Amino acid sequence: GQQVMQIPQYQHVQEGEDFTTYCNSSTTLSNIQWYKQRPGGHPVFLIQLVKSGEVKKQKRLTFQFGEAKKNSSLHITATQTTDVGTYFCAGRGSNQFYFGTGTSLTVIP
């Protein structure tokens, strides 16, 4: 069945360092979404990528969709304490979205 794997599971970074999380699917995705969940909160939509090779930026966040539409990445430049949380990718297969296992980011001040 559909599988979306995400690495790393945990990441601790010093404030100001960069951070990247990777998402890989066993099958081709029609699109991919990224969500952020603050500690104790619920996932909140960040962005959607649809086109092969697409790159989108939101301030310090850069999202990329692979050429084969099977992988994606989220890169945060110069992390801040407000970036703390768990980042999920969600790949759309034939009918539904399948969430990755998430990457929990800790930012050390």
Partner 1 sequence: DAGITQSPRYKITETGRQVTLMCHQTWSHSYMFWYRQDLGHGLRLIYYSAAADITDKGEVPDGYVVSRSKTENFPLTLESATRSQTSVYFCASRPGTGSLDTIYFGEGSWLTVV
Binding site for partner 1 (CB under 8 A): 1, 6, 9, 33, 35, 41-45, 48, 50, 88, 90, 92, 96-102
Q: Closest CB to partner 1 among 44 and 108?
A: 44
SS3 content of the chain, % helix, strand, coil (to 5): 5, 55, 40
The backbone region for 59, taken as left when phi is positive above 0, alpha when psi lies in -120 to 50, beta otherwise, is left
Q: Closest CB to partner 1 among 17 and 97?
A: 97
Q: Closest CB to partner 1 among 10 and 18?
A: 10
Distance between alpha carbon 5 and the CA centroid of its chain, in Å? 11
